[in-house]
A and B are shown apart, each in its own frame.
Chain A
Amino acid sequence: MGGLPAGKVEFTEHDYVDWERRVDALRLLLSGIKGGRQLMTVDELRKNIETLPPDAYERMSYYERWVTSITQTMIQRGVITTEELGKKMAEIGKRDGSKV
């Protein structure tokens, strides 16, 4: 987006909330930077953010994009399957409540 027309810089400072911090930590752990097995590269994270449809990219918050991208990468790599994710989301929605 370098050089594209855009508005004034808005000086928002936001203290990251817990779920965002956990997404961040997941990314670090899955990258193998912390010593574990490397299950994703930063390039895959970026690729899967870049391939979001433009309107989704604009609507989503930063860590919403990240969690989507990390999850997508885990599916692409076969670490988890779409079926497992679908089941898990339904189960947790029922267990903890969801707006979805």
Chain B
Amino acid sequence: MEARFKPGDAVRVRNIYPLGHIRTPFYIRGHSGVIERFCGTFGNPEELAQQRSGEPKQPLYRVRFLQKKVWPDYQGNPDDVIEVEIFQHWLEGENG
């Protein structure tokens, strides 16, 4: 799978709630952030968890989110961030 995003790109985490083994935390689904770095390409955990090959491998990114946007009641520096690893198939480009 080709890497679609590059550092600095604005992305949004898909806001879906299927079943299975998923490495995208609930708290970050539906939120917008920025690609911090591309981490490489790794077996898809949703497949690996079910005794399948994990193919096609998925590009993995570290995505940076502003805390005050993730938690409406966030107390702290307005520039505080949370960075989460998210697989490409859980990301959408902010501009479609």
Contacts and interface: CB of A to CB of B under 8 A. Distances in A.
- Chains A and B touch (C-beta atoms under 8 A apart): yes
Given A46-B21, A47-B21, A50-B21, A3 B71 contact: yes
Contact of A44 (B20, B25, B26, B51): B51
B71 A44 contact: no
Judged by DSSP, the binding face of B is: loop
Judged by DSSP, the binding face of A is: helix
Nearest to B22: A50
Interface residues of B, number: 15
Contacts of B51: 44, 76-77
B48 A41 contact: yes
Contacts of B28: 2
B26 to A, nearest CB: 7
